[in-house]
Amino acid sequence: MAKTSKMVQAARKAKFSARQYNRCPLCGRPRAFLRKFKMCRICFRNRALRGEVTGVTKASW
């Protein structure tokens, strides 16, 4: 319940721009957010491995 309310709160426009923060729209995670892909690192990794994120390939050394 609390996580859901935080997701709704983050989706609204903040009164002041300094109060804005990013939250993953898929799982609601507030940390490790990738702005370029608009999701957290965990969701990004899962989707990239499944091939759902275009233009991303797994790095090999």
pLDDT of residue 1: 62
Residue 30 maps to a domain:
yes
On whether 40 is known to bind a ligand per the annotation, the reply is yes
On whether 43 is known to bind a ligand per the annotation, the reply is yes
CA 2 – CA 23 distance, rounded (Å): 14
Q: Which domain holds residue 31?
A: 4-16+26-50
Residue 44 maps to a domain:
yes
- Which residue did the predictor score with more confidence, 19 or 52? 52
Specify the pTM.
0.72
Residue 58 maps to a domain:
no
On whether 27 is known to bind a ligand per the annotation, the reply is yes
On whether 24 is known to bind a ligand per the annotation, the reply is yes
How many other CB atoms are found less than 10 A from the CB of residue 44? 21
The residue length of the chain stands at 61
Closest CA to 8 of 34, 52, 18, 25: 25
pLDDT of residue 8: 82
- Structural domain tally of the chain? 1
pLDDT tens by residue, 35-53: 999 999 999 999 999 999 9
Residues 6 or more apart whose Cβ sits within 8 Å of residue 28: 3, 4, 6, 7
Residue 21 maps to a domain:
no
